[in-house]
Amino acid sequence: VTLHSLRCLAGALLTTGAIACAVAPAAPEVTREPASIIDRVIPIDLATDVRWDDDAHVIVTDRRRGPARVAVADADAQPEWWNDWPAATEPGSHYMHLAISPVYAVAADTAFGLRWREQRPNAAVAQDIFEYIADVDARNDQLLITGLRRNAGGVLGADESTAWIGTLRGQELTLRPLLPFRQMRAIENCAGFGLAAVRFLPNGGFVIAPGAEPGVYVYDAHQRLQRTWDTKALGVEVDCNLTREQSALLATDVDARQAWLNRRRIIDDVIAVGDVPYLVVRAHDGAATRWELIELRGERHTIHPLPFVSTSSSAHVSADARGGRIAFLVHDRAAGREGAAATRLVILPWPPH
Partner 1 sequence: MYRHFRMILMLAMFVFAASAFAEVQCDVTYNSKAYSDAQYNFCWLSGSVCYQCYDVQTADSCSSEYTPCNPYPRRFDKNVVATLFPEEKPASPCVAAAFEQKQAQLRIDNLL
**Per-residue binder mask for partner 1 (CB under 8 A), 121-160, x = binder:** ------x-x-xx---------------x-x--xx-x----
- Contact pick of 103, 259, 334, 342 for partner 1 (by CB under 8 A): 334
Smallest separation, CB 17 to partner 1 (Å): 30
Question: Euclidean distance between the first and final Cα of the chain, in Å?
Answer: 28
- Shortest spacing between CB 154 and partner 1, in angstroms: 4
Question: Which stretches within 3-160 are classed as H helix?
Answer: 3-14, 18-23
**Which of residues 112, 322, 342, 351 is near partner 1 by CB under 8 A?**
112
* Interacting span for partner 1 (CB under 8 A) from 12-20, 111-119, 206-214, 317-325: 111-119
Q: Which x/- pattern, by CB under 8 A, does the window 29-68 give for partner 1? A: -----------------x----------------xx----
CB of 207 to partner 1, least distance (A): 25
- Minimum Å gap between C-beta 132 and partner 1 is 6
* Residue 111 CB, nearest approach to partner 1 (Å): 5
d(Cα 286, Cα 311) in Å, to the nearest integer?
Answer: 9
90 binds partner 1 (CB under 8 A): yes
How far apart are CB 172 and partner 1 at their closest, in Å? 11
The correct pick among 43, 91, 170, 202 for binding partner 1 (CB under 8 A) is: 91
Q: Which stretch binds partner 1 (CB under 8 A): 213-221, 245-253, 278-286, 298-306?
A: 245-253
Partnered with residue 300 across adjacent β-strands are 297
In this structure, the strands spanning 161-167 and 142-148 are: antiparallel
Residue 338 binds partner 1 (CB under 8 A): no
CB of 18 to partner 1, least distance (A): 30
73 binds partner 1 (CB under 8 A): no
Nearer to partner 1, 132 or 217 (CB): 132
Cα dist. 114→97, 139, 150, 185 in Å?
A: 9, 16, 14, 23
- For residue 245, give Cα distances in angstroms to 22, 46, 241, 252: 32, 30, 12, 11
Minimum CB distance to partner 1 smaller for 77 or for 125: 125
Give the 3-state secondary structure of residue 255.
helix
- Which of 223, 211, 207 minimizes the C-alpha distance to 175? 223
Q: Quote the CA–CA distance of 20 and 151 in Å, as a whole number.
A: 42
Q: Give the nearer residue to partner 1 in terms of CB position, either 270 or 335.
A: 335
**In angstroms, rounded to a whole number, what is the distance separating the alpha carbons of residues 94 and 114?**
9
Residues numbered 174 to 203 that lie near partner 1 (CB under 8 A) are 185, 188, 191-192
- CA dist list (Å): 172 to 126, 252, 263: 8, 31, 40
| Smaller CB separation from partner 1, 191 or 201 | 191
* Letter string b/e over residues 184-198, b meaning 16 or more CB atoms within 10 A of that residue's CB: bbbbbbbbbbbbbbb
Long-range contacts of 219-228 (CB under 8 A, 24+ apart): 219/178, 223/165, 223/176, 223/178
Query: Could you tell me the smallest distance in angstroms from the CB atom of residue 112 to partner 1?
Result: 5
In a 13 Å sphere around the CA of 97, the CA atoms on its Cβ side amount to 34
Return the amino acid letter for 199: R
Our finding on whether 248 is near partner 1 (CB under 8 A) is yes
Please report how close the Cβ of residue 325 comes to partner 1 at its closest, in angstroms.
30
Number of Cβ within 10 Å of residue 315's Cβ equals 25
> Distances from the Cα of 224 to the Cαs of 179, 219, 275, in angstroms?
11, 5, 16
Given the rule CB under 8 A, which residues bind partner 1?
A: 46, 63-64, 86, 89-94, 111-113, 127, 129, 131-132, 148, 150, 153-154, 156, 185, 188, 191-192, 244, 247-248, 251-254, 333-337
